Amino acid sequence: GQQLNQSPQSMFIQEGEDVSMNCTSSSIFNTWLWYKQEPGEGPVLLIALYKAGELTSNGRLTAQFGITRKDSFLNISASIPSDVGIYFCAGPEQKVTFGIGTKLQVIP
Amino acid sequence: DTEVTQTPKHLVMGMTNKKSLKCEQHMGHRAMYWYKQKAKKPPELMFVYSYEKLSINESVPSRFSPECPNSSLLNLHLHALQPEDSALYLCASSQKLTGNIQYFGAGTRLSVL
């Protein structure tokens, strides 16, 4: 089946710093999704990507769909304390596959 | 409105109890999902319903019994659970089954004693 490798698995950063995380897949995806999950809550969709090479922004978040269709990255600029959470990449084929998650902690 | 509502938010049950988790969406989505999430892990797919019919069962033990009474509702019936079944149970829905964005509820935090 599909496998997603997400890195890094955790990050401690200073408030105001930029953050980058990425996902690679063992197979081609037609759609990449990025979710954020806070403690005790369900994942919330941040960005959806539909075309190879697509670069999409949502406020301070920017994500790109890799040209090979086997990878994607998510950047967060000028991090703030409320960015804390776990970020998951996902490939929503019939059986959606999630990456292991990147746990982000922001030091004020 | 992209809301998926799950009840209850928390549930504590004994190993001999029978309980049910409920999930509701009014987005007209025709695919609904149950996931199990253990601490520090990504969600793991359990069941998928498409047009109110069970489409995928990821070899889930029979002590978990899903039900989709109509296109807006999804239940998960629990019976004779084990302590290792304690987890966050997430419901999600999408417009259709394949390649669509899934919207998640806030989950039910289940503790089995």
CB contacts under 8 A, B 24-53 vs A, are 33, 40-43, 45, 48
Which of B36, B37, B7 minimizes the C-alpha distance to B22? B7
Residue A40 CA to residue B112 CA, distance in Å, equals 17
pLDDT in tens, A21-57: 999 998 888 889 999 999 889 999 999 999 999 999 9
Q: What beta strand segments (E) does chain A contain?
A: 4-7, 10-14, 19-25, 32-37, 44-49, 55-58, 61-65, 71-76, 85-91, 97-98, 102-107
Residues of A in contact with B33 (CB under 8 A): 96
Cα atoms found within 13 Å of the Cα of residue B52, Cβ hemisphere only: 7
Cβ contact, residue pair B42, A99, below 8 Å = yes
Dihedral of the alpha carbons of A42, B69, B78, B80, in degrees to the nearest 10: -160
Mutate to test the interface with B, among A49, A87, A88, A94 (most CBs of B within 10 A): A94
Residue A65 CA to residue A70 CA, distance in Å, equals 8
Residue B27 CA to residue B91 CA, distance in Å, equals 14
Distance (Å) from the alpha carbon of A13 to chain B's nearest alpha carbon? 19
pLDDT in tens, B15-65: 999 999 999 999 999 999 999 999 989 999 999 999 999 999 999 999 999
